[in-house]
Amino acid sequence: KSGLGPYPDRPGTKVSPFHIPPRVGGGIGPVMPPQNLGDADLKNAVTEGLKRAAPGFTRVVGLWSPPAPQMPEGMQMRRPPAPPQTFQGLRESLAGVYDVREVALTDRVPEDIDLLVLGGPADLDAKAVENVDQFVMRGGSLVVLAGRHRFAGMQQNKIIVEKVKTGLEDAFKKWGITL
C-alpha cells in the first residue's frame, strides 16, 4: 500500500506534504522528492525509499548510550538520577532513515548491526571494550561520540565539568587512532 501523504522530515519537525510513504512488508520508507525531477533522479529516490521500507535492505544502527547511575545503597531519593548524557535526539534523527536498535555492551554486538554508535562512553569495562573490538575486527563500522570532559552540572552559578576516560584508549592505540 502506498500513497501521497504528509510525512515529517524528522521527528518533531515540520510536515511536508510532498513525501510519498510507501509501505512494504510492514515497513515505511519515505520517498523524498529529489532536487531535480528528472527520470533518473526520481527513479533513484523511489528505489531508495522502497529499499528503506523493505526488510533486509535497511541499514541497522546499534546505539549504545550510558545507563543511569546506580543509586548507592541506603540513599533514598524520589527519582533516580538521569544518565550524564542522553542521545534521544540522535536516536530520533537516525530512526527516520535507519533501523535503530539499543545495544548492550555486556554481550557480543549482534551480527545484523552494520554501524555501532557509542554515545558518550565513560569507564567502559574490559568486557565492553572486548565486544567493541570484536565488532570492529569483524568489519563493523564504529562511531564514538566522546570527549575528554563532560558537563557535570552547575554549582553556585558555575559550570562543573568532569574528566572522562572512555575505557577505549588502548583499543584506539591498537587501531592506530590517536586523540
Q: Give per-residue pLDDT as tens, 4-44.
A: 455 555 555 555 545 566 565 555 556 666 667 788 887 87
Contact 20, 3 (CB under 8 A): yes
pLDDT value, residue 43? 81
**Assigned C-alpha cell, 89:** 535526539
**SS3 state at 91:** helix
Instruction: Please state which of the ranges 45-54, 112-121, 125-134 shows the lowest mean pLDDT.
Output: 45-54
Average pLDDT over all residues of the chain: 77
Q: Which of 7-16, 17-26, 157-166, 167-176 has the lowest mean pLDDT?
A: 7-16
What's the CA gap between 34 and 82, in Å, rounded?
Answer: 41
How far is it, in rounded angstroms, from Cα 161 to Cα 54? 44
SS (H, E, C) 142-169: EEEECCCEEEEEEECCEEEEEECCCCCH
Give the pTM.
0.63
